[in-house]
Amino acid sequence: MNDRYEWVDQARGLGIFLVIYGHNYPFLESYIYSFHMPLFFFIAGMFHPKNITKYSIVKRAKSILIPYFIWSLLLYIFWLFLGRHFGNSTNYNLDPLQGFIGVFYAQGDVQFMDWGIPMWFLPCIFLTFLLFSFVNKIRFDMLKGFVLIILVTLGLVYPVFFEFKLPWSIDVACVSLIFYSAGSFLKNRLIELRSAKKLFLLTVCCLLLSVSMSMVNSKIDMYRSQYGNIALFILNGFMGTLFVLFLFKWVKFPKIVAFLGRNTIPLLALQFRSLTIIKLILIVIGINTFTFSEPIKLILAFVQVLLIIPVIIFVNKYMPILNGRNKK
């Protein structure tokens, strides 16, 4: 799957918007968290290389880890000199050294990643890529499936018995293999599915199932290894993911949605900093209370994205490495 698919980019675009919107604590938070991370792992699996070589591993590392470390160091510096002295950060007794360690450890909640918790996802998805590449090297399908089950089980069991946060969310990477491997295995069937009637029915069914299951299960938070009922978590992750993918195959959406899907790294990195700018503007005009209504939370998410778009354009033109790309 070397060519870009507009509907996949759009699905990813909605996914990153839901990440930003979900971090504003909307009433849909539990529903969004039930599938937005599985969606990204599933789509990443769809683009897994057919042949894993040293070149493909290095290429993936450059596109994920280099922007991760650059953005994380920039976010840490901002936090060190400014961010930790304002807002919720003042309520924690945070050690700058732990924050610096967090850049490389990429786990540990606010004690280590108060400068940018959403960045945990990039090292984790790189580890998922490596784990699946290893599993995919196994020639026998039954053995391959067995190893996958073992890795996923280890990932699910680890947080039950241990509170120690593993570097780069290793346990979460194991769990995410459920969705990553499914994306790799199902990509051709999804690409070939074109019947508008089938897409409509599948979209509606997946939506209804994902909403109903999210209402039954407790809130999911993959970063913190919180899955609630495991069966519901897995099923809900798939239903929500497939709902989004079927939706974008069925309905044509504006190109801006695909644009967001092609520029997820800057959006991931800068979402909270754009919110900081919004709050500073509100303070200047005399608004000091940041308890927002549900419509305002949605508007805030749109404004956050709009503020980041000029940065994306600049990055793509002059510093594409920050978006995981090489300069043309």
Nearest one of 224, 244, 243, 249 to 124, comparing CA atoms: 224
pLDDT at residue 4 in the model: 59
Q: Is the pLDDT of residue 150 over 80?
A: yes
DSSP summary character for residue 251: S
- What's the whole-number average pLDDT of the chain? 94
Q: Is the pLDDT of residue 1 over 60?
A: no
Q: 17, 40 in Cβ contact below 8 A?
A: no
Least confident range of 42-51, 164-173, 283-292: 283-292
155 CB-side CA count, 13 A? 28
pLDDT at residue 207 in the model: 98
Q: How far is CA 156 from CA 172, 215, 226, in A?
A: 8, 21, 9
pLDDT at residue 143 in the model: 95
DSSP string of 11-41, one letter each residue: HHHHHHHHHHHHTT--TTHHHHHTTHHHHHH
Q: Rounded mean pLDDT of 10-24?
A: 97
Domain boundaries defined on the chain? 6-323
Signed CA dihedral, 304, 305, 311, 315: sign only:
positive
Cα–Cα distance measured from residue 65 to residue 60, given in angstroms and rounded to the nearest whole number: 8
Q: 45, 179 in Cβ contact below 8 A?
A: yes
Q: Is the pLDDT of residue 279 over 80?
A: yes
Q: Rounded mean pLDDT of 305-321?
A: 97
pTM over the 0.85 mark: yes
